[in-house]
Amino acid sequence: MKYTLSFTLNGLPVEILVKPTETLLDVLRHQMNVKSPKRGCNTGDCGACTVLLNGEPIRSCITLALTVAGQSITSLEGLAEGGRLHPLQKSFHDHNAIQCGFCTPGMIMAARALLDKNPSPTIEDIKKGLSGNLCRCTGYAKIIDAVLAAGKEMAAKKT
């Protein structure tokens, strides 16, 4: 038995049929062609599936799709505005904060949520804020550099 799910995805209204047992991750990847959130563990441990629910980072792999009815979901696909890269995307690229790229979408979305709440984070703030996103390739050093730099750029733009 499937149910109608209406929500906003990357700024656009969406209406689809989903099973009550389907996770938001599966619905995004299989029905909405939103491939950036990844299935790294499916138990909410690795963060590769991180998307924003009304601006808050959530694990889409342990979020039942029907629970986001009427809410707003943002994935990496919705980060760039008007074809321009978000400062985080540009900073990750500039700083080589990426290797295999599998953790990158979740990491950038978690960083986005961090900077939205704390526009001028310290290194310690970033380390704490991203500790729910695992990366096996980079050792995190350049990820932290990238988020710090993006934060500074975004803060400078506002002044």
Partner 1 sequence: MEYKNVGQRDKRYDGLAHVTGKTRYVDDVVIPGMLAVKALRSPVTKGKVKKIDTAAAQKTAGLAAVITPQDVPANGFGPMGPEQPVLAQDIRFKGEPLAAVAAADEDTAMEAISRIKVDIEEEKGVMDPLEAMKPEAPKVRAEGNLFMFGDKPYREIISGNLEAGFKEADEIVEADYVESSYEHTALETQCSVAVPEANGKLTIYTVSQCPWFHIGPLCGVLKMPMSKVRFIGGTVGGGFGGKNDIHADHITALLALKTGKPVKWRWTREEELLFSTHRGAWHIHFKDGVKKNGRIVARQVRSIRDSGAYTSLNPYGVEIHCLVVNGPYHIPNVHIQGYLVYTNKPLSMSMRGFAINEANYATEVQMNRLASAINMDPWDIRFINAYRNGDKMPVGKVLDSVALIEVMQALAQKAGIALPAQCQTMTSAKREVQP
Partner 2 sequence: MKKRGVGIAAGLYPTGLMGGGDPSQAIVKIKPDGSVDLIIGSTDIGQGCKTVFAQMAAEELGVSVAQVNVLNADTDAGPLCLGTFASRVTVISGNAVVAAAREARGILFESAAKSLEASPKDLVAAEGKIFVVGAPAKSVAIGEIAGKSPLIVGRGTYMPSPAAPDPNTGAWNAFHTLAWGAVLAEVEVDTETGEVDLLRLVCSYDAGKAINPMLVEGQIEGGAIMGQGQAMTEDWQPYYPSLDWQPTTLRDYLIPTTADIPNIETVIYECPSASGPYGAKGIGEITANVPTPAIASAICNAIGVWINEIPITPEKILRALEGKTQTS
Residue 35 or 117 having the CB closest to partner 1: 35
Calpha distance 36→34 (Å, rounded): 6
Using the Cα atoms of residue 76, residue 78, residue 83 and residue 88 in order, give the sign of their dihedral: negative
From the list 16, 32, 67, 140, which residue makes contact with partner 2 (rule: CB under 8 A)? 140
Position 17 contacts partner 1 (CB under 8 A): no
**Near partner 1 in 43-62, by CB under 8 A:** 43, 45-46, 48
Position 142 contacts partner 2 (CB under 8 A): yes
Position 126 contacts partner 2 (CB under 8 A): yes
From the list 6, 54, 96, 118, which residue makes contact with partner 2 (rule: CB under 8 A)? 96
Phi, psi (deg, nearest 5) at residue 43: -130, 15
Pairing label, strands 12-18, 3-9: antiparallel
Token pair 């799709």 is found at 65
Q: Tokens at residue 125, please?
A: 């703030």
- Binding footprint of partner 2 on the chain (CB under 8 A): 40-41, 43, 45-46, 96, 99-101, 126-128, 130-134, 136-144
